[in-house]
Amino acid sequence: MKRLTGRVIKHGRASGIALVSPEPISFFGMVDVDTGIVIEPGHPLMGERIGGRVLVFPTGKGSTVGSYSLYRLAKAGHAPAAILNFESDPIVAVGAIISDIPMVDQVDISQIHTGDWVHVEGEQVIVDS
């Protein structure tokens, strides 16, 4: 079991199976809002379902509409349980805040692998592989 700490972007508590993307994520156009499945061709997470997972990626990218897309995913029940970033960007950060998704950045995400069980509580991130 590993204990990591980061900086709280959106305070909260959540647990789930990690889904790790080595590449940045834009929620606008990348994820089908009705299913929570990644639909961006060529993206490392293509075909993965993000709902209920602890979603781990370096940083966000793309249009400011992405904040709203994350909100819509949350309302449809397909939002990630928590978001962990190396460096958060304003679009995903604002999306997490308005959607009540716990989010921590400045996390050493190289310590987390897809399939790990991750518990997030405030700035604490507990990883069980």
Active site positions, annotated:
63
Q: Is 64 left (phi over 0), alpha (psi -120 to 50) or beta?
A: alpha
User: Is residue 57 close enough to count as binding another protein by CB under 8 A?
Assistant: no
| Binding of residue 90 to another protein (CB under 8 A) | yes
> Cα(68)–Cα(27) distance, rounded to whole angstroms?
9
Q: Are 104 and 7 in contact (CB under 8 A)?
A: yes
Q: Rule CB under 8 A: say whether 89 interacts with another protein.
A: yes
Site string for another protein, 27-46 (x = CB under 8 A): ------x-------------
Number of H helices and E strands in the chain, helices first, is: 2, 8
Return the number of the residue (74 or 127) whose C-beta is nearest another protein. 74
**In this structure, are residues 107 and 4 in contact, taking their beta carbons and an 8 Å threshold?**
yes
Beta bridge partners of 10: 103
At 118, give phi and psi (nearest 5°): -125, 135
97 binds another protein (CB under 8 A): yes
For the bound state, the minimum distance from the C-beta of residue 126 to another protein, rounded and expressed in Å, comes to 22
Q: Examine residue 94 and tell whether it contacts another protein (CB under 8 A).
A: yes
Residue of 6, 105, 116, 125 that binds another protein (CB under 8 A): 105
Binding site for another protein (CB under 8 A): 7, 9-10, 33, 64-65, 67-69, 71-72, 75, 88-91, 93-94, 97-98, 105
